[in-house]
Amino acid sequence: MKETIVSGIRASGKLHIGNYLGALKQFVELQNEGNNCFFFIADLHALTTPFEPKELSQNTLEVAADYLAAGIDPKKSTFFLQSQVLEHTELAWIFNSLTSLGELNRMTQFKEKSDQHKEGINAGLLTYPTLMAADILLYKPTGVPVGDDQTQHVELTRNIARKFNNRFGKTFPEPKTYLRKPLRIMSLSDPTKKMSKTGDEALMLDDSPAEILRKLKKAPTATDAKQESPGVGNLFLILEHFADKKTFKSFSRQQEDNSIKYSELKNALAKLIADHFANFRKKKQQLLARPDQIQDILVQGGTKARKVAQATLIEVKTKIGLI
Ligand code: TYM
């Protein structure tokens, strides 16, 4: 059975392998299985943390090129910019009025982000999840592929859908995350934190082979393989996704019998990742050389998305008594 799938990525910098393994890789698979997919760049969500206008436009193009170079095909998927489909913010306002402050205050991402940006905790950071619920529910999907850090927001989206349906009549499905166990790739420099878009802690999808090796070499491991090490666990988690079964088993065996040389593991992993993204790097460069083409693709995708979004919003407005 074909499913309707929705997901987005913030326009807050180029993508890393956490974004790829946790989200983008699944997007491409779901698209190529023939599902009805809506993928977008969450440029409005990027306004909730400090930003510079020029960087925001450049980041939006970078993320668009990341999507396209990774295999998102605008002929198969509806691919668009959040800010170009006005229904997202309108439905978010309606959801704001149905969501309690308590529910929003409980979101771990809000707590983490407001700790990081103590001077500038804006209202958008708090209402981030209601915009996200609008992003999702406008398209009435069954599945929302996201990494582990976003599952709480998808759960809140399900609650909002349930609340709306109970009060105003069945309108929305209650969408689920796509992987039964969503992924969390950890930072290379501090493997107790999730990999994020800043510093040497993240492997970007377009990093050169030399850059990948340099970053991996710096990643902490353990002096003794028997020692429980989050850094080693993370390297194995990444290895599992890029290596064939034989290579993965061979390193796992060496880890178990304590004969492993982490420098060899890192060299092998660097080569696997660099090879995996060789084509991607080329395509991304070609795409970024033609930003006008990227913009055309996004405008066309926005027109397609708006048709679906408008129909849902009219239904919602009628049901809640807006005339
Ligand atoms: P963003 O840009 O922070 O992350 C994009 C996707 O990448 C996943 N991700 C990870 N997965 C595994 N390990 C990591 N270290 C890692 N870091 C990030 C995220 O879980 C996400 O799936 N709020 C969303 C953007 C959004 C959205 C939506 C998503 C806005 N509206 C509606 C789905 C549906 C976000 O945090 O993006």
Q: How far is CA 158 from CA 27, 142, 307, in A?
A: 20, 11, 23
Give CA–CA dist 275/291, Å, rounded: 26
Over residues 168-175, the mean pLDDT reads 98
Q: Residue 64, CB half-sphere, CA atoms under 13 Å: how many? A: 28
pLDDT for 172 equals: 98
| Nearest CA residue ID for atom 14, ligand 1 | 18
107-149 pLDDT, tens digit per residue, is: 999 998 888 877 778 999 999 999 999 999 999 999 999 999 9
Q: Long-range contacts made by residues 199-203, C-beta under 8 angstroms, separation at least 24?
A: 202/16, 202/17, 202/18, 203/16, 203/17, 203/273
Of the ranges 32-46, 220-234, 271-285, which one carries the lowest mean pLDDT score? 220-234
For 80, other C-beta atoms within 10 Å of its C-beta total: 26
Over residues 243-249, the mean pLDDT reads 97
Q: How far is CA 322 from CA 66, 84, 227, in A?
A: 40, 23, 62
Verify whether ligand 1 is closer than 6 Å to residue 42 (CB atom): yes
80-110 pLDDT, tens digit per residue, is: 999 999 999 999 999 999 999 999 999 999 9
Three-class SS of residue 233?
Answer: helix
Verify whether ligand 1 is closer than 6 Å to residue 77 (CB atom): no
Q: Where in the chain is the domain with CATH 3.40.50.620?
A: 4-183+290-320
Give CA–CA dist 143/203, Å, rounded: 27
Verify whether ligand 1 is closer than 6 Å to residue 213 (CB atom): no
Is 176 part of the annotated catalytic residue set?
no
Q: Which of 76, 163, 197, 271 is catalytic?
A: 197
Verify whether ligand 1 is closer than 6 Å to residue 206 (CB atom): no
Q: Percent of the chain beyond pLDDT 70?
A: 98
Query: Is residue 42 within 8 Å of 60, Cβ to Cβ?
Result: no
pLDDT for 200 equals: 67
Give the DSSP per-residue string, 267-302.
HHHHHHHHHHTHHHHHHHHHHHT-HHHHHHHHHHHH
Q: Which atom of ligand 1 is nearest to the CA of 146?
A: 22
pLDDT for 95 equals: 98
Mutate to test the pocket of ligand 1, among 19, 44, 45, 125 (most ligand atoms within 8 A of CB): 19
Q: Taking phi first (over 0 means left), then psi (-120 to 50 degrees means alpha), and beta for anything else, what does residue 2 get?
A: beta
Q: Which helix (H) or strand (E) holds 177?
A: strand 176-177
Three-class SS of residue 39?
Answer: strand
Distance 175 CA to ligand 1 centre (A): 16
Return the CATH architecture of domain 4-183+290-320: 3-Layer(aba) Sandwich (3.40)
Give CA–CA dist 138/173, Å, rounded: 10
| Nearest CA residue ID for atom 31, ligand 1 | 132
pLDDT for 266 equals: 97
Most distant pair of Cα atoms in the chain: their distance: 72
The whole-chain average pLDDT of the chain stands at 95
Verify whether ligand 1 is closer than 6 Å to residue 183 (CB atom): yes
Give me 249's structure tokens. 């088993």
Give CA–CA dist 11/121, Å, rounded: 19
Verify whether ligand 1 is closer than 6 Å to residue 92 (CB atom): no
pLDDT for 1 equals: 84
Instruction: Answer positive or negative: Cα dihedral of 286, 291, 296, 302.
Output: positive
Distance 290 CA to ligand 1 centre (A): 26
299-311 pLDDT, tens digit per residue, is: 999 999 999 999 9
Is 113 part of the annotated catalytic residue set?
yes
| Nearest CA residue ID for atom 26, ligand 1 | 8
Q: Where in the chain is the domain with CATH 1.10.240.10?
A: 186-289
Give the ranges where the chain is alpha helix by DSSP (H). 17-19, 25-32, 53-70, 87-96, 101-105, 108-116, 123-137, 151-168, 209-218, 230-242, 245-256, 262-276, 278-288, 291-320
Verify whether ligand 1 is closer than 6 Å to residue 157 (CB atom): no
Over residues 309-319, the mean pLDDT reads 98
Give the DSSP per-residue string, 195-219.
--SSGGG--BTT--HHHHHHHHHHS
Selecting from 2.60.120.200, 3.10.150.10, 3.90.1010.10, 1.10.240.10, what CATH number does the domain 186-289 have? 1.10.240.10
Is 197 part of the annotated catalytic residue set?
yes
Distance 46 CA to ligand 1 centre (A): 12
31-63 pLDDT, tens digit per residue, is: 999 999 999 999 999 999 989 999 999 999 999
